[in-house]
Amino acid sequence: MAAASTPKMPTLVAVTFLLLAVACRASPYYPLQMGYYHDKCPQAEAVIKGVVEKAIYQNPGKGAAVIRMLFHDCFVEGCDASVLLDPTPFSPTPEKLSAPNNPSLRGFELIDAIKYAVEAACPGIVSCADIIAFAARDASYFLSSGKVYFDMPAGRRDGTFSNASEPLKFLVPPTSNLSDLVSSFVVKGLTVEDLVVLSGAHTVGRSHCSSFVSDRLQSPSDINGGFAWFLRSRCPANPTASDDPTVMQDVVTPNKLDDQYYKNVMSHTVLFTSDAALLTSQETAKMVEDNANIPGWWEDRFKKAMVKMASIDVKTGHQGEIRKNCRAINHY
């Protein structure tokens, strides 16, 4: 009788494919989807849009706030609404208390109002992370008078971790040079063009004087003399926590999401060193010029960059949770 053959050892390639297959089954990837709530909560996007429209009609600054909120959320822990979490005894220092967010980040009450309306329509279905993304999209639409319109995929889930040390790692200050800005975007999978295009959101909203006085008005800079005089008339020489007024980031079209920001960069009438930095390389300076001078050029790229940013390190599938209250994790 023939001897039984010895089983062959699996090859390295076979083992690799086996491990990949097991990993894929254990941690399936759930991509974001257009129309994600079509069956689960068909009225969700309409409800969110209605609340955002009313808020912007009352105060356009609320629209600028939620656009900025999307950036501050997605760059830290991914787009998971971790920026919304309030302090608790178990987590006393969440992201919203970090220097890049406190006291300048606003829009939390608007997200609360949206969550309340959505929960009334379909409780426990729509994540706070998706609410931020939809609100930023709708704010872009209303502030641009319909010129910036785009679909936003959904399916994000809410994170359960938030720490004030994290924003300091990923949100570079407005005093940053171009190299630091580019690095902060590249590490999140965004390009130099994404940096230039998303900087255009500075065409709406307000900024505290403390964000720019020291390096733009008290140090040598390229800022336009007349604009510097205007800012000095609005800002104290040494802003403090009790005396830190705000000024419009774009004094030409302050409540309109448009390409005026790039014209301001070219005329040296922007607030931040990080804005002026876009002129410090030929590549980015050309992008600024194109965004300023070619009709529709910036709007088209801004739509795509917003969707791309809103997809950074998202939690989907069985990751995270759907918070009942955007300011607190669920307690089971």
Token output for 201: 């959101």
**Residue 202 falls in the annotated catalytic set:** no
What angle in degrees, to the nearest 10, is found between the helix axes of 61-74 and 128-143? 140
Query: How far apart are the C-alpha atoms of 19 and 229, rounded to whole Å?
Result: 64
| Residue 157 φ then ψ, to 5° | -115, 160
Cβ pair 175, 271 in contact under 8 A: no
Q: Which helix (H) or strand (E) holds 208?
A: strand 206-208
Closest to 84 measured CA to CA, from 38, 125, 130, 46 = 130
Closest to 326 measured CA to CA, from 33, 155, 109, 168 = 109
R_g (Cα) of the chain, nearest Å: 23
CA distances for 274 relative to 167, 201, 203, 284, angstroms:
17, 13, 14, 12
Tell me which of 38, 72, 208, 331 is the catalytic residue. 72
Token output for 134: 């939809």
Q: Any alpha helices (H) in the chain, and if so which ranges?
A: 12-26, 44-58, 61-74, 108-121, 128-143, 165-170, 178-186, 192-199, 225-234, 260-266, 273-276, 282-293, 297-309
**Cα atoms in the 13 Å half-sphere on the side-chain side of 186:** 7
Query: How far apart are the C-alpha atoms of 9 and 41, rounded to whole Å?
Result: 52
- How, if at all, do strands 246-248 and 206-208 pair? antiparallel
Residues with a catalytic annotation lie at 72
